[in-house]
Amino acid sequence: MKTDPAGVLTGTHYFDGDWACGEGAMAAGCRFVAGYPITPSTEVVERISGRFPTMGGTFIQMEDELGSMAAVVGAAWTGTKCMTVTSGPGFSLMMENIGLGAMMETPCVVVNVQRGGPSTGLPTMTGQADIMQARWGSHGDYELISLSPQSPQEAFDLVIEAFNLSELYRVPVMFMMDECVGHMTEKVIIPPAEEIEIVQRKLSDKSPEEYLPYDFEGKEIPEIIRAGDGYRFHTTGLTHDKRGYPVMSAECQEFNVRHLVDKIRQNADDIVRYDEEQIDGADVVVIAYGITARVTRMAIDMAREKGVKVGFMRLIVVWPFPEKRIRELAGNVKGFVVPEINYGQVVLEVERCAAGKSTTVGVPHGGGGVHDPEVILEAIMGAAQ
């Protein structure tokens, strides 16, 4: 369906990635944000808190990130599209309630404008070292979805996609920006509202007597209702059955938690999203995401000038991982090169999927800046040998 025009600031703007992300959320229909502002994500909530009064949205500056995530999980059950915004240290504090959101199958979006870590790290400088945390940061087994934009324009476009995926699969979606994209100002084109497709939460049409909150078959997503609409329902972080009631047994764990994993894994083909360029006949395929993808394209141009056949795969959805595609490519290319602003995270997934059929080379960067294209070039040249 088309989005509510109230949140759409149609036009051509010169925005940084944080503002663009905020505008994208409002364009997607987000009307509740709870957060504890933290550099370099503060401008997202600054933008939203200034604009929300014009469209009936609610922003709450919370006491901390634990409260922020709890408020978002709770508010989502009123049928409102919800988001919280943070950076590394706050992301760590949100983990427990992100797990609660996953367990309760709560649609919401968590924006992490990544900075250098660990701990307080580099508050004003970029990093991509939370990308594994986005996948595994909370305890227990579950699968979530993570996206990574490479520009302010994509911060706008993809956060809408993040909301859509969260509604479709009833999961917290991790929107993994980085400081460089967040604080980079570029042209951002916001289309008219009638061109913005959004997924509206499908509420159950069952009667209160028939409705069960966790009733599903196979890879189906259970139907949701709104708290306050007259349904008696129960939801909990404890392992629960179809009724949402706690049942402490291995059987119920299998029913409940396998579903949390399978609803993403079995639908991965529909969720996975990447760009590819000149993969056919390539000797080397470079895989990158976020800001690193842009720097990588420079290195690829340089390598092609030197006559190397290089293909490029840009991860737009990082989790679930495009495992199937990388397995297909493995063996057909000499090597994969994976630059990222951390000491090696996504590269491990590439290596796993390459399964020894192609070499996998990481190009680490500790954070605080982006790679020099020459460093990536060197890795490409090495992998092409």
Give the interface with another protein as residue ranges (CB under 8 A): 12-14, 16, 40, 124-125, 180, 183-187, 291, 294-295, 297-298, 369-370, 373
User: What's the half-sphere exposure (Cβ side, CA atoms, 13 Å) at 6?
Assistant: 11
Least distance from another protein to the Cβ atom of residue 22, Å = 17
Judged by beta carbon, residue 181 or residue 260, the one nearer another protein is 181
- Cα separation, 375 vs 295, whole angstroms: 10
| Phi and psi at residue 376, to the nearest 5° | -70, -40
Judged by beta carbon, residue 145 or residue 181, the one nearer another protein is 181
Give ∠ CA 198-270-263 in degrees, rounded to 5.
Answer: 95
Least distance from another protein to the Cβ atom of residue 328, Å = 27
Least distance from another protein to the Cβ atom of residue 40, Å = 7
- The label of the residue with tokens 């109230």 reads 6
How far apart are the two ends of the chain, measured CA to CA in Å? 51
Judged by beta carbon, residue 116 or residue 320, the one nearer another protein is 116
In contact, 290 and 149? CB cutoff 8 Å: yes
| DSSP per position, 309-365 | -EEEEEESEEES--HHHHHHHBTTBSEEEEEESSSSSHHHHHHHHHTTSSEEEEEE-
**Which of 338, 56, 29, 318 is closest to 160 using CA atoms?**
29
Least distance from another protein to the Cβ atom of residue 223, Å = 43
- Cα separation, 309 vs 129, whole angstroms: 29
Judged by beta carbon, residue 312 or residue 321, the one nearer another protein is 312
Least distance from another protein to the Cβ atom of residue 373, Å = 6
Judged by beta carbon, residue 173 or residue 293, the one nearer another protein is 293
Least distance from another protein to the Cβ atom of residue 291, Å = 7
Judged by beta carbon, residue 237 or residue 369, the one nearer another protein is 369
| Phi and psi at residue 248, to the nearest 5° | -90, 85
Least distance from another protein to the Cβ atom of residue 61, Å = 22
In contact, 365 and 339? CB cutoff 8 Å: yes
Q: Where is 131: in which H helix or E strand?
A: helix 131-136
Least distance from another protein to the Cβ atom of residue 313, Å = 16
In contact, 111 and 177? CB cutoff 8 Å: yes
Judged by beta carbon, residue 90 or residue 290, the one nearer another protein is 290
Judged by beta carbon, residue 184 or residue 272, the one nearer another protein is 184
Q: What is the DSSP letter of 224?
A: B
